Chain A
Amino acid sequence: MGAAPGARVRNAGPGARRRRYLAAIGVVPFLAYVVFFLVVPAASVMLQAFRDNNGGLSFSNLSTVLSSQQPWLHSYAVSLELSAVSAVVAAIIGLVGTVALVSSPSPLARRLVTTACGVLANTGGVPLAFAFIATIGNAGVATHVLAEMGFDPYDHGFTLYSFTGLVIVYLYFLLPLVILLMLPPVEALRREWREAAATLGASPRTYWRKVGLPVLTPPLIATLMVLFMDAFAAYATAEALTTGSVPLVPIEIGALLAGNVVSNQANLGDALGFGMIVIVAAAGVLYVLVQRKTSRWLR
Chain B
Amino acid sequence: MKRTRTFRWVVLGLIGFYVLAPMAASLQFSLEAGYQGRLSFTAYSQAVAEPGLAASLITSVKVAAGAMGITLVLLVPTVILVNLRFPRWRTVVDAVSLLPLGVPAVVIVLGVLGVYRSLPNIITGTPVILALVYVVLAMPYSYRAIDSGVRSLDLHTLVDASRSMGAGWGKLFSRVLLPNMRSGILAAAFLTVALSLGEYAIASIMGFMTFPVWLVSVEGNNPYVAVALSIAALLVTWILLVAIALIGSGRRRGSTGFGVGLVDAVDEAETAAAAPTPDRVS
Contact = CB atoms under 8 A, between A and B. Distances in A.
Interface string B224-237: 00110011011001
B78 interface: yes
A111 B234 contact: no
B249 A270 contact: no
Interface in B231-267: 231, 233-234, 237-238, 241-242, 245, 249, 256-263, 266
Nearest to A20: B85
A33 B135 contact: yes
B180 interface: no
A139 to B, nearest CB: 7
B104 A44 contact: no
Given A37-B133, A130-B226, A295-B270, A276 B29 contact: no
Interface stretch (B10-18, B47-55, B170-178): B10-18
B200 A235 contact: yes
B260 A117 contact: yes
A245 to B, nearest CB: 14
Contacts, number: 288
A37 B263 CA distance: 24
Interface string B116-148: 100000000000000011011001000000000
Nearest to A240: B216
Interface string B8-49: 100110010011011101101110100000000000000000
Nearest to A259: B207
Interface residues of A, number: 93
Contacts of A26: 77-78, 81
A40 to B, nearest CB: 6
Contacts of A4: 156-157, 160
B272 to A, nearest CB: 9
Interface string A33-70: 11001111111110010000000000000000000000
B260 A42 contact: no
B61 interface: no
Nearest to B78: A30
A122 B21 CA distance: 18
Nearest to A22: B85
Given A37-B133, A123-B238, A284 B102 contact: yes
A118 B230 CA distance: 19
Contacts of B78: 26-27, 29-30
A213 interface: no
A38 B97 CA distance: 10
Contacts of A44: 111, 114-115
A27 B78 CA distance: 6
A283 B89 CA distance: 26
Interface residues of B, number: 96
A263 interface: no
B103 A42 contact: yes
A177 interface: yes
Contact of B30 (A34, A96, A134, A230): A134
A122 B261 contact: yes
Contact of B223 (A1, A41, A133): A133
Nearest to A251: B106
Contacts of A27: 78, 81-82, 86, 89, 93
A24 B28 CA distance: 57
Contacts of B241: 118-119, 122
Contacts of A142: 21, 25
Q: Which of A44, A117, A119, A128 has the most CB of B within 10 A?
A: A119
Contact of B242 (A33, A93, A115): A115
Nearest to A32: B74
A280 interface: yes
B230 A127 contact: yes
B274 A291 contact: yes
Nearest to B81: A26
Closest 9 CB pairs of A and B: A41-B111, A118-B259, A4-B156, A236-B200, A134-B29, A233-B104, A127-B230, A235-B201, A135-B25
Interface of B: 4, 7-8, 11-12, 15, 18-19, 21-23, 25-26, 28-30, 32, 74-75, 77-78, 81-82, 85-87, 89, 93, 96-97, 99-116, 132-133, 135-136, 139, 156-157, 159-160, 194, 198-201, 204-205, 207, 212, 215-216, 219, 223, 226-227, 230-231, 233-234, 237-238, 241-242, 245, 249, 256-263, 266, 269-270, 273-274, 279
24 contacts: A3-B156, A23-B85, A34-B99, A37-B112, A37-B132, A45-B110, A45-B114, A96-B11, A100-B7, A118-B258, A119-B259, A120-B19, A121-B259, A122-B237, A134-B25, A135-B21, A135-B25, A141-B28, A175-B18, A236-B199, A270-B110, A277-B102, A277-B104, A291-B269
Given A42-B107, A115-B256, A123-B234, 14 more contacts: A7-B160, A27-B86, A33-B74, A41-B111, A97-B12, A100-B7, A101-B12, A122-B237, A126-B216, A134-B29, A240-B216, A254-B106, A257-B110, A276-B104
